Chain A
């Protein structure tokens, strides 16, 4: 049944809200942004045709507030809602609330989402469909979990039933840590998803993370748009993703895609989703279905020459799935996060004082950042996704190294230099991919000594005023007309960083 859409409310923030608004406009829709008090000056607010404030900074009172978002959609006459990823994207009650308000939810139906979005239920569906799963147990009680642990042995991994993107995941190396890990995982899960249920799986030694992009229309057709290898993870959070998966045999790829399609059909899946698998040797195991658009979807878009958000909108308005084009070349994405890679990846905040965005053929930067943008502690620390395409993996990798070299972000500590060193490394070049890649090759990473020397000199120049064009925090204004500019070095009498000129 065709139902043309006219106005889309984007129930998200940051880079993904901006990215969805761009495609919705291309699709011919009016767009509505929603924002919390902390995001009033954010890029997605300015990009949309309309913007509606939905609450204070706390996610629970804004981006996670179903009633506030549905009220905003009704108020502005939106006939569709796109949830993005994270926040409410995998909450069946949100999809249901939209349906109850006669608003099209751009995603799977609530009952499908409930069945697949819940990792415990999804495992059951996979088993019934004959898809292999990692040995695991639903962690209801500590005693039953201890018995399971004794059976399969440590290490184990604790996961949130409602989780995604590594949130609420803990590896348990030995029995002594089990109880506290269950507690911490449950707390994190409750805080992040409003659902503290967890389950426990055997932790595989050196698996690769390979996932299949799925699309399903409302007429029963499902299609797979190839795989993504997301093995480069830090504490179960993906940081580098690519397609195709290097070295994956055609036979293995076909088997995994077949399993993903089986799952999608068994679940009557519609709209965009991703089936995640762990691959070790000749075995593969179903992990979970992410019943939404993934962060790393641009990797697939670049290889298939498609726009997955437009596909989602076409499906949501009742359109039929088109046969996907044949994939070409290779694409690699890395996630630039607000975190300090030299200090245990501690989350960072701050105001963007300068931003250099790379360009050139095959380079895409999906980000909401601009000079003056504020990164607050309230939300996920993803600052942007740098994605490069090439005729083959080496060309894509070379472009990504160059692009990261061109990138500069002052004001918010971030992992760009760390990503650059990973992508440029011979281990990454040689695709020694496993989910333990970071622990094996990049633990204890530090900024290079020559760069630190250059930074010390640059700090002296900054103190001296020769790099005074960049406004500091809270003073993001250009110099008033006629203001006299200090000439470089004039004030730099000596290396007096915090002297009388403070």
Chain B
């Protein structure tokens, strides 16, 4: 099965090869490892891999799985969404709010041609400004928000379409 880490388009290819009680053999990419899981009373557990023990917790949230390993926190998502996007010849066909906040500035209008890395929108959350830029060259299909508007996490701010000047397939950015 394939999954991605939130905020990272690279696919992780992994599968459980075999399982015996709490012990499992897992393939990650072209590597294999043995992991032993012991549940704890606190809802998490201890994972032993290669002689190291990790305290882990996990929970599902919407289409994500959230996991903590020691002090580290990670979020995984299914890979299908990311590969669908690449089929459009764009790194991302939509500019999505990475967190809830206020739209401070919109720098583009419908029909604008933008370069990879060009700033599109500035949103403000937790008193910090975050600039969202185009991940690849594209045409602005539709700006869905206006300045001053509050947006939710995951809201579509701008729709993009492939830049008409370049061939879709040839210009598809390699994100892996």
Residues of A within 8 A of B (CB): 167, 184, 187-188, 191-192, 338, 340, 342-343, 346-350, 353-354, 356, 376-381, 404-405, 407-414, 416-417, 419-420, 447, 450-463, 466-467, 469-473, 488-489, 492, 494-498
Contacts and interface: CB of A to CB of B under 8 A. Distances in A.
Give the one of B33, B65, B124 with max A CB within 10 A: B65
A340 B128 CA distance: 14
B145 to A, nearest CB: 15
B101 interface: yes
B57 A494 contact: no
B22 A489 contact: yes
Given A454-B56, A498-B63, A467 B45 contact: yes
A348 B130 CA distance: 12
Interface string B9-39: 0001011100101101010100001010101
B59 A405 contact: no
A354 B57 contact: yes
Contacts of A350: 61
Given A410-B66, A461-B37, 18 more contacts: A187-B104, A191-B124, A191-B127, A354-B42, A410-B67, A411-B61, A413-B73, A416-B71, A419-B71, A447-B74, A450-B52, A455-B69, A455-B76, A458-B56, A467-B58, A488-B22, A489-B22, A492-B19
B50 interface: yes
Nearest to B3: A497
A356 B46 CA distance: 14
A460 B72 contact: no
28 contacts: A187-B104, A191-B127, A342-B8, A347-B101, A377-B126, A408-B44, A410-B58, A411-B59, A413-B75, A417-B71, A420-B71, A451-B54, A451-B70, A452-B5, A453-B28, A454-B54, A458-B67, A459-B65, A459-B76, A460-B26, A461-B37, A469-B42, A469-B43, A470-B44, A472-B59, A492-B16, A494-B15, A497-B65
A379 B26 CA distance: 41
Nearest to A420: B71
A346 B98 contact: yes
B57 A456 contact: no
Nearest to A382: B126
A452 B54 CA distance: 11
A93 to B, nearest CB: 20
Contacts of A459: 3, 58, 65, 67, 74, 76
A452 B8 CA distance: 13
Contacts of A469: 42-43
B164 interface: no
A377 B101 contact: yes
A453 B65 CA distance: 15
B126 A447 contact: no
Contact of A353 (B56, B59, B104, B128): B59
Contacts of A447: 69, 72, 74
B107 interface: no
A404 B26 CA distance: 28
B116 interface: no
B87 to A, nearest CB: 19
Nearest to A405: B70
Contacts of B174: none
Nearest to A57: B150
A451 B72 contact: yes
B61 A473 contact: yes
A353 B33 CA distance: 28
A317 B49 CA distance: 58
B59 A470 contact: yes
B67 A455 contact: yes
Contacts of B62: 473
Nearest to B77: A498
Interface string B76-117: 101000000000000000000011110010000000000000
